[in-house]
Structure 1
Amino acid sequence: MDKKLEKATFGAGCFWCVEAIYELVEGVEHVESGYSGGHVEDPSYRQVTSGNTGHVEVARIHFDPSVISYEELLEVLWHTHDPTTLNRQGNDVGEQYRSAIFFHNEEQKAIAEKSLKKTDASGLWDDPIVTTIEPLKNYYVAENYHQNYFENNPNAGYCSYVIAPKVKKFKKEFKHLLKSSQ
């Protein structure tokens, strides 16, 4: 019997970081880096990083809802990036790095809105959350060299100094969600 997978699409800064985190989550079958929300058809990485296409760097997460819920995926999102900074994550600055949840259906929209309100009220972050909740549109898979970037380039500078500490923090805080192979 085939598993019935669902999809979640999140923007939370550089897609390499987001992909690296969600690849570790039990119930996540596959994560792909891509672009969503813009107005240019099938944009290249160079076009998106110029900040002129309106796209956000995103991770599309293919998950088994019988193992992990959409709510749990959102919980990971709130804890693994700063959703209070507009159009930036660390040194990555521009609309393409903004915090965004792209919902695939009305149920995801409702869950995301509730989760955002709950997290904002929880005091997890000192500043208000600026994450947008938008319908998924104009999604394109990023170029092949972006896929599994952290796994394929663990010694690259960005991976060592930016992604590795985020992965380490995630593993410590979310032990209960880690795949058994981690």
Structure 2
Amino acid sequence: LFSTSFHVAYNYLNPHFEGQEHLSFCDIACASTILNTLFPSQKLNQSIIYSYVAKAHMSNGITLAKLSLFFQICGVYSIIRYSDHENFEEQFREDIKKQDNFIIVNYWRQYYINEKDYIHKSGHFALIAGFDQKTDYVLILDPNATRFPHHWLPLKHLVRMMSTYDKMASMPRGYLIITHQNNNKQSDQYRIYL
């Protein structure tokens, strides 16, 4: 799939990709990957991001709105797309095809943990790194990389997983867009001070 897919985001993000350092750091790992892609001379890690910015905004996890605020604090512009929008799937398809977009998806997932003999259910954040129009699959850079290495997922399945309700946020899930072209224009002048 990779050779026939649209994967500009993968080419930018993968060199800076890091798996999450802690079970609850999927959002911070995604943010770290994007910030290090936009500002490679900064060499930010998840501990620094958590200590200086995210800790103040996290209580029992993080929402799309809080993740957007986090990027704003770091001087990075983002757009939230919630799944309750009437044309959500169509909009998502448009957004993943734009080569200047980095996308962090927030979705509900369930998987069986063999060692513990139970089904894990939780909200999760991951990066979108590619899209194959022929198969209608998206490439996920999952920060829980030890359990889920980079993988392809049917777009419709991901849309269903994003089209769930986040009880903590009292909002639907969805995704966050960071447009790297707009942010890169500022990167020469802007330095993240954490």
TM bucket normalised to smaller:
under 0.3
TM-score normalised per structure 2? 0.26
TM-score normalised per structure 1? 0.27
Give the number of the structure with larger relative contact order, counting CA–CA contacts within 8 Å between residues 6 or more apart: 1
